Amino acid sequence: MSDSGDMFGAPPTQGEEKPASASELEAAGQSVLFGQPPEAPVAPAKPPAPCPEPSPQTSPAPAPMQAYRVLARKYRPQTFSQLIGQEPMVKTLANAIERGRLAHAFLMTGVRGVGKTSTARLIAKALNCIGPDGQGGPTIDPCGLCEPCRAIAEGRHIDVIEMDAASHTGVDDVREIIEAVRYAAVSARYKIYIIDEVHMLSRHAFNALLKTLEEPPAHVKFLFATTEVEKLPVTVLSRTQRFDLRRIPAPMLQEHFASICRQEAVEAEEEALAMIAAAAEGSVRDGLSILDQAIAHADVERDSDAALVTAGRVRDMLGLADKSGRRRLFTALLEGEPAAMLDEVERQYGLGVDPLALLRSLLALTHRIALAQVGGGEAEAPTLEERRDIGGWSARLSAGQVHRLWQLLLKGHDEVKTAPDPLVAAQMALLRVLHAADLPDPGTLARQFERMAAEAGPAVASGDSGPSAAPLAALDWRGLCGQVEDAGMLRVANTMRDWLRVIELAPGRLAYALAPGLLDDPAQSVREALRQVTGEGWIVECGSDGGTPSLREQDEAERQAQADRIRLAPLVQAALAAFPGAELIEQDTPPDPGRGERNWRRA
């Protein structure tokens, strides 16, 4: 057929590059991922035949650009000594290998970029290393020279199977593993299955793996890696030996990045590396990605070949200059400057900062101030200016003020989250925080009241402000009303309490007057109720005038007298003098905790 060459691939013509074979493509991909092995010396080749001069219609093809390996791949740990920050796990593995107490399944968990997958590959090396002489056994320090070590590093070992559970989630994928574990390893000591992001397996896939995971053949080891260990079934966790990889401390990251800069012939300021280590949040991979970006940013700005990573450029690259604007916003809040505060909010919003993120940054700043107060040392911050500002605020504000500021910002954060217009909600929430600075906190208010009460002296007691002595008849009458109520005659009992003014009360006789407002005479119902509760007949008469106040009227008079006594108390008088127009309200709700001193300064 005439088009068979197009379908099956025609032989390369003169001037065309021969397509790479599958083995060459695989070697190129592995060298990019795991590092290029040292090249063997190449014998000088015969000089190529002279090529014809290019015609004016064609131009010479550009030389292919060599693929750049990012720092996160170039400096992937190849030995346990290069794995930083995980010394407890390395010590545990070393003891297990030395004593021959190797588990059949390991689980590595932790945040992104702390070395979970790298650790799994290092364990595979450690278990299958045979030493340079081919006579070695499992070791925590694999040689990296023997065939198993080199094959595992290059990702071509037939007995080390690495699977991404994010793209192989079903039962069929697990069934392939179950069927393959029955066969012994081809060339290695152990057949090792590395399953990355194992939490992505489906529930049925986990169930299918359980029996094999619990009792695998002696020549099989399972290595799991995940960032979300809480998603794994308990039945899987109980069948594995778990290692929780730690976040890498910022000082250790800074030292590691400085070492890499020296190897890359890059100059970097200490403050710049400190900013990168803080932005990495404990992740080596994130930090190396940021360092890669910082080196590229430095190269663009310099004419010389040597890159210089400065703190100023890293600050601009990471947006830390924006953090200085948020510190200005925080200062405007504390100083009580609404115009400056609103201008800074508008500026941040114009830079693309989400109002909710703005509230979160202020909450984080408040949290750092609280930690600086508790720790008593220098505040933790990536820049010198931020450390200085946090230290000043921690010395200036009291602990109570910091906690009230946190509560107000947290309430504003919740409001912004559900508001139809987040920007307006953020402005109103911050204005509330700002104006709360004009109100005294409860402790200062109590001290002011005590001082004003001491200056005012004792109040003059009113002669008729105390409770009036109730007559004996009224006390007996209250008891009778209670007996009627206990007997279940609630309507009659309410009438006796609210409307009857007792004129005369004696055994078997009751004379009363009606309080204004009751139209019908309740004599008949009262007589019957008293007869039922006492078991005796009663003479009940309604008089025209006189009598003691009803029980309801007595209770109201007592409440009024109590209110008068409270109002005349020295502490209340001082409070009313300090807050003109204030009113006493009878309610049990606690006072608003969001109070602070003017401009959030100490008294």
The arithmetic mean of pLDDT across residues 252-271, rounded, is: 90
Q: Determine the Cα–Cα distance for residues 188 and 127; give it in Å rounded to an integer.
A: 9
pLDDT exceeds cutoff 90 at 57: no
Neighbours of 451 (CB within 10 A): 11
Q: Which residue has the higher pLDDT, 600 or 172?
A: 172
Q: Which of 163, 212, 221 is nearest to 189 (CA)?
A: 221
pLDDT at 304: 53
Q: What angle do CA 350, 356, 358 make, to 5 degrees?
A: 60
Pairing status of strand 241-244 against strand 160-164: unpaired
pLDDT at 59: 47
Most confident of 417-431, 451-465, 558-572: 417-431
3-state secondary structure of 49: coil
pLDDT band at 68 (very low <50, low <70, confident <90, very high): confident
Q: Which amino acid is at 86?
A: Q
Question: What crossing angle do the helices spanning 284-301 and 250-263 adopt, rounded to 10°?
Answer: 50
Q: Which region, left, alpha or beta, applies to residue 376 given φ > 0 means left and ψ of -120 to 50 means alpha?
A: left
pLDDT band at 603 (very low <50, low <70, confident <90, very high): very low
User: What own/partner pairs with CB < 8 Å and gap ≥ 24 does 439-448 have?
Assistant: 439/595, 439/596, 440/595, 440/596, 440/597, 440/598, 441/400, 441/401, 441/404, 441/595, 441/596, 441/597, 442/591, 442/593, 442/595, 443/400, 444/597, 444/603, 445/595, 447/603, 448/574, 448/578
| Lowest-confidence segment of 311-325, 380-394, 456-470 by average pLDDT | 456-470
Express each pLDDT in 116-140 by its tens digit. Answer: 999 999 999 999 999 888 888 899 9
For residues 578 and 444, the answer to whether their CB atoms sit within 8 Å is no
pLDDT at 474: 41
Express each pLDDT in 86-107 by its tens digit. Answer: 899 999 999 998 888 889 999 9
Q: What is the pTM of this model?
A: 0.58
Express each pLDDT in 532-563 by its tens digit. Answer: 888 888 888 888 777 888 888 888 888 888 88
pLDDT exceeds cutoff 60 at 115: yes
Q: What is the DSSP letter of 229?
A: G
pLDDT at 201: 93
pLDDT band at 437 (very low <50, low <70, confident <90, very high): low
pLDDT at 15: 41
**What tokens were used for 225?**
């890696």
Q: Which residue has the higher pLDDT, 262 or 470?
A: 262
The arithmetic mean of pLDDT across residues 50-72, rounded, is: 59
The arithmetic mean of pLDDT across residues 509-531, rounded, is: 86
The arithmetic mean of pLDDT across residues 419-438, rounded, is: 88
pLDDT at 120: 92
| Lowest-confidence segment of 52-66, 118-132, 209-223, 318-332 by average pLDDT | 52-66
pLDDT at 44: 47
| Lowest-confidence segment of 3-7, 28-32, 336-340 by average pLDDT | 3-7
pLDDT band at 257 (very low <50, low <70, confident <90, very high): very high
User: What rounded mean pLDDT belongs to the chain?
Assistant: 79
Neighbours of 81 (CB within 10 A): 10
pLDDT at 377: 61
pLDDT exceeds cutoff 80 at 73: yes
Q: Determine the Cα–Cα distance for residues 193 and 121; give it in Å rounded to an integer.
A: 10
Q: Determine the Cα–Cα distance for residues 205 and 209; give it in Å rounded to an integer.
A: 6
pLDDT exceeds cutoff 90 at 223: yes
Who's near 399: CB < 8 A, 6+ residues apart? 370, 373
**What tokens were used for 579?**
């807050």
Q: Determine the Cα–Cα distance for residues 236 and 107; give it in Å rounded to an integer.
A: 10
Q: How many CA atoms lie within 13 A of 18 on its CB side?
A: 5
Q: What is the DSSP letter of 306?
A: S
Q: Determine the Cα–Cα distance for residues 111 and 86; give it in Å rounded to an integer.
A: 13
The arithmetic mean of pLDDT across residues 418-425, rounded, is: 92
The arithmetic mean of pLDDT across residues 468-480, rounded, is: 56
3-state secondary structure of 276: helix
Most confident of 287-301, 315-329, 408-422: 408-422
pLDDT at 453: 64
Pairing status of strand 500-506 against strand 509-514: antiparallel
pLDDT band at 61 (very low <50, low <70, confident <90, very high): low
